[in-house]
Amino acid sequence: MQPKVFILRTAGTNCDYETKAAFEKAGASVDLIHINKWVGNKELIHQYNILAFAGGFSYGDDLGAGTVLANEIRQNLSEDLLKFIHEGKLIIGICNGFQIMTKLGLLPGFGLAENKLEQEATLATNNSGRYDDRWVYLKKASDLCVFTREWHNDPVYFPVAHAEGKFIPMDKKVLAKLKQNKQIIFRYSTPEGKPTSRFPFNPNGAVDNIAGICDSTGRILGMMPHPERFQDPTNHPRWRREKINEPTDGMMIFINAVNHVKENL
């Protein structure tokens, strides 16, 4: 059976086609679903194995990155979203998707076992005070996450493109719990793999250099960098000078997810 992926889109979403291409290249069947279609048929999500919150600027980030879509989901779709999670399905949020997930309460997700969606972290304005578009190094920090189970290189090199990417936990207790549970999946690092807060290696000033986290089950991943923009060796800025192997590091995120579904259908 071919895994099925539900990519949520709305006004301002602009990375949905790249995300679709990555999942299809990994062997999945993919549909782009507008939020209005899901609200009109709340059971629709249960036809799928993976939910993806793509990058972009949902609703123009007018009330803060991801805030409007997070509130729309909380008010209209939280019951079926929680059911989807408890069915053992997978969720990934990239850039704006990660912002949505934190503001919705999917991540860190400490209350999910009790069917609670509570915001415990946010993605705030970059320390630079501006939009930043560059490639950065990421050091893998944990083996908990399904999306990173098979991993070839460490650190990896992924593009970022955001103005509100600074990960901030609600308090020290949240940060301590993330560390204790091994839910921190990626940290910004130097080319040698040493986590750092130094710009431009850490492009936003994220607390503890956090670039991506998962929930306690490892099935829900949120990350600021864009793996879907590194599907092919020619996407790499130094592809003519360096040997870039396939599958690329970006594709491994999607391959791991699709393989997990195939193994557990």
Q: What is the pLDDT of residues 76-121, one digit of tens each?
A: 999 999 999 999 999 999 999 999 999 999 999 999 999 999 999 9
Under the banding of pLDDT at 50, 70 and 90, the label for residue 38 is: very high
Is 95 one of the catalytic residues?
A: yes
CA dist., res. 65 & res. 165, Å (int): 9
Catalytic, out of 162, 228, 236, 260: 228
Catalytic, out of 18, 214, 226, 236: 226
Report how many helices (DSSP H) and strands (DSSP E) the chain contains, helices first.
Answer: 6, 11
Flag whether pLDDT at 265 surpasses 90. Answer: no
CA dist., res. 79 & res. 73, Å (int): 10
Catalytic, out of 95, 145, 214, 236: 95
Question: What integer pLDDT is reported at residue 61 of this predicted model?
Answer: 93
Read off the pLDDT of residues 126-158 as tens digits, 9 standing for 90 and up.
999 999 999 999 999 999 999 999 999 999 999
CA dist., res. 255 & res. 238, Å (int): 23
Read off the pLDDT of residues 196-227 as tens digits, 9 standing for 90 and up.
999 999 999 999 999 999 999 999 999 999 99
Give the Cβ contact number of residue 126 at 10 Å: 21
Question: What integer pLDDT is reported at residue 106 of this predicted model?
Answer: 97
Q: Which CATH architecture has domain 4-264?
A: 3-Layer(aba) Sandwich (3.40)
Under the banding of pLDDT at 50, 70 and 90, the label for residue 256 is: very high
CA separation, residue 237 to residues 17, 152, 158 (Å)? 21, 19, 10
User: Which residue stretches of the chain are H helix?
Assistant: 16-25, 35-40, 67-86, 96-104, 172-180, 249-264
Mean pLDDT of the chain: 97
Is 228 one of the catalytic residues?
A: yes
CA dist., res. 20 & res. 66, Å (int): 20
